[in-house]
Each structure stands twice: as structure tokens, then as C-alpha cells.
Amino acid sequence: MDSFKILMMSLLCMLVMAATSVRSQGTRVGFYLRACPRAESIVRSTVESHFSSDPTVAAGLLRMHFHDCFVQGCDASVLIDGLGTEKTALPNLGLRGYEVINDAKSKLEVACPGVVSCADILALAARDGVVLSRGLTWAVPTGRRDGRISLASEAANLPGFTDSVDDQKTKFAAKGLTPKDLVTLVGGHTIGTTACQFFRYRLYNFTTTGNGADPTINPTFLPQLRALCPQNGDGTRRVELDTGVPSNRFDTAFFTNLKNGKGILESDQKLWTDASTRTLVQQFMGIRGLLGLNFGLEFGKSMVKMSNIGVKTGTQGEIRKVCSTIN
């Protein structure tokens, strides 16, 4: 066995151990082994099918899982249709990937009726999308149940694109996540896009001096952004969050872009300009003289922590028959 295979097996073992350590919270790796042994493979094949025709769906699934966990816990409440539900909240209007979850749920209801929760499907699908984008895998603890409450008003405290680092830390800490988890999970922006309306203000009206742009933007990068997002142009136009590299590749280029003043969202760029988080960014970049961090490995560990925020297990919640509707 060559050294690469040994390394990959070691990393996978570490991920399994990290995931297994959350059993006390009610979830565990392999929860469906007896009740629905093909559960994870059905989700994986469904994600693969959608990814093959639209690779950008990976970022959509990852973001949806994040938004779900930060409101009411990881209980698939973001999937529920209806007036005033989380899905209708302003931060969630751009979420996508619902069709993947619904497709997987339909297949699972045929194979194992009433067994696999929508919350678990979303957690598994987010992982599978990252792997398809060339990221490292991790073992996903399962056993979540689906929530019955979904309120748009509760999405108001989701991390926002103008948040300071202190605000981001506070919101993550409220969910039991550390500054390291914060920088790691924001690194998920290595895949995906955002709309011009969420960062165009940085290009033209940020200051009243100079060229009006956010001074943390690399001056050589500014013309490119202004060409993509003219001052009076289409605010819904999508721009890649990780520029200058092959799209939909899960890697550390995002952190290098922050160092070079090429972060798209203000909240992302602040992870470099704020000294309290800059060292973590440097560690993911492998800056000489610092103890480096393996982004793929750390991302899996932080995802396991995030995916266990406020989970409903045992007799809590329900197992929805249709992910968009409470039973």
C-alpha cells in the first residue's frame, strides 16, 4: 500500500472517530444500517445524478444545510413550504437544491417508508456535494428527526455579509462553534456564487474619498469586479466567491484570495483584515513558520459539529413523508 493510500485511510479513521464522539447528542454514524441499509448510497447517487448536470448544486446544498442548522437546529425546517416559513425569509430566498432533497426523499420513501428524515438527507447531501467537488469526505452522524416549526422571523440572526468578525464570532459561539469553526466553515465559500446586490456597495459607495471602493479590495481586482457588477447593472447577476481558480473545486484558494484582497463578500474579507482570525486563514494557506491546518480534515470536523446543532432525536419531531410539508 503506497503512502498516499495510508494517509487517506488515516484521515478517514480520524473523521470517523470525530463523528462517533457526538453519539451523546443522539446521532451516530451508521444510524440506518439496520432500518435502511441503502439510505446513504441512495442519497449519494441522487446527488451524483444532479451534480452531473449542474455541478453548482453542491454549493447550494452546503449553504442550505448551514442555513437550516443556524435556525431551529438541524431539523430540515428550512425545507417547509408556506407563508412565513424560513424558506421565505430574505437570507433564504437564494437557497437552491430543494429538488435534490425531494428527489432523494421520494426514492427513500419507496425503499424504506417513514424511516429516513429530511434533516439527515440534507446533512448527507451537503457532504456528498463537497466530495464531488474534490473535497475530503467525512463520516456523517445520522439519527436526526424533522422539526415541525418554521418561522421566517427566526432567520433574522443568520450570519450576514456585512457582519464584523466579532458579530460572526458571537453568532457562531451561540451555536457552540469556535472561531476556528467559523473560519473553517466560511471556507466553504471555495465553491458557490453570490449576487452583485450583496457586494456591489463595496465597489462604488463604500467611502467618500478616493475611488469610492472598499480599501480592502485589491486595486488591481477592482476593475474586474466593476465589469462584472456595473453600478446600475443587474443586481441578481451571479459572481463566483472564489475567483481565479477552476469553479466548483473544493480547495484552499479561497483563503489565498482573502490574503490578496480578493474576497468578494465584506464579511469574508474581514477574516483576513481582522488580526484575531488572520492566523487561522494563514494556517489553512500553509504560511511558512506557522503550524499548518489541513482544510479538508478540519472542514469535516467542523461540519460534524455544526450538523449536531439543536438536533431532534428519539421521540422529538417527526419523520416527514414529504420534506416540504409537515405530516
User: CA–CA separation, 245 vs 260, rounded Å?
Assistant: 14
> H or E segment at 238?
strand 238-240
Write down the pLDDT at residue 112: 97
The single residue of 50, 65, 67, 189 carrying the catalytic annotation is 67
Write down the pLDDT at residue 240: 94
Residue 219 has pLDDT above 60, yes or no: yes
Write down the pLDDT at residue 20: 43
Which cell numbers hold the place of 176? 457552540
Which cell numbers hold the place of 23? 453519539
Are 146 and 76 contacting, i.e. CB atoms less than 8 angstroms apart?
yes
Residue 313 has pLDDT above 70, yes or no: yes
Write down the pLDDT at residue 288: 55
Across 72-76, average pLDDT:
97
Burial grade of 24 (CB within 10 A; 0-12, 13-18, 19 or more): exposed
> H or E segment at 50?
helix 39-53
Quote the percentage of the chain above a pLDDT of 90. Answer: 84
Choose among 209, 239, 205: nearest CA to 225: 239
Write down the pLDDT at residue 144: 98
Across 17-29, average pLDDT:
60
The per-residue pLDDT for range 117-166, each reduced to its tens digit, is: 999 999 999 999 999 999 999 999 999 999 999 999 999 889 999 999 99
| Residue 10 one-letter amino acid | S
The per-residue pLDDT for range 226-241, each reduced to its tens digit, is: 999 999 999 999 999 9
Are 103 and 42 contacting, i.e. CB atoms less than 8 angstroms apart?
no
Does residue 65 carry a catalytic annotation?
no
Burial grade of 322 (CB within 10 A; 0-12, 13-18, 19 or more): middle
pTM, rounded to two decimals: 0.90
List of E strands, 96-235 = 193-195
